[in-house]
Amino acid sequence: MRCPFCASEETQVKDSRPTEENTSIRRRRVCPDCGGRFTTFERVQLRELTVLKRSGRKVPFTREKLQHSVEVALRKRPVDAERIDRMISGIVRQLESSGETEIHSAEIGSLVMEALRGLDAVGYVRFASVYRDFREASDFQGVLGELARDVTRDMGDVPQAGTAVPAAVAEGEMPGSAHHDQAVAERKR
């Protein structure tokens, strides 16, 4: 396995163990050339899937691409690598067991949204902004509204003004998020 940091071909396996659900083998590897450490997972691939893009183009489904887009959304977020891996596995399993061999990219996108929503609010908003291709403030507001409903539900159906939006989101990890409440409120009048 090539080192992702320096591209050396000489990486060594430090240890191998089955993951929690025993559906894959997790190997920790180290690169003797640069000292880089990384983890690989070995798992069964049940069937070949094709992704049908919005453009009509067809590309082979790969777990790696799915994982990459999730990792971009969760960059620098405090989410454990193994939880991310379980989430990806869950999505792949759903896709593989759907009975279809061609899957619309939108379908994958909504599965990812659904999973991220329970995992990390900031990652969810980041992914949603790319996947839904936000063009207007109201699109963004819609996603924040969904999150607010989640939080409200988690708090036992007690609506609590001002606590709905996760701090990292409210504090501008997304561009231009500060004034949307006001904008929407004004539009409603």
Residues at the interface with Zn ion (CB under 5 A):
3, 5-6, 8, 31, 33-34, 36
Query: In this structure, are residues 115 and 87 in contact, taking their beta carbons and an 8 Å threshold?
Result: yes
Instruction: Give CB contacts under 8 A, 24+ apart, made by 138-142.
Output: 138/180, 138/184, 138/187, 140/174, 140/176, 140/177, 140/180, 141/180, 141/181, 141/183, 141/184
Residue number with CB closer to Zn ion (1 or 6): 6
Residue number with CB closer to Zn ion (30 or 183): 30
Residue number with CB closer to Zn ion (40 or 152): 40
Residue number with CB closer to Zn ion (36 or 109): 36
Q: How far is the CB of 85 from Zn ion (least distance, A)?
A: 22
Q: How far is the CB of 11 from Zn ion (least distance, A)?
A: 7
Residue number with CB closer to Zn ion (5 or 41): 5
Q: How far is the CB of 40 from Zn ion (least distance, A)?
A: 14
Give the whole-angstrom CA distance, residue 45 versus residue 91.
13
E strand residue ranges, 46-173: 50-52, 58-60, 102-104
43, β-bridge pairs? 24
Q: How far is the CB of 36 from Zn ion (least distance, A)?
A: 4
Using CA of residue 86, residue 92, residue 96, residue 97, what is the dihedral sign?
positive
Q: How far is the CB of 60 from Zn ion (least distance, A)?
A: 28
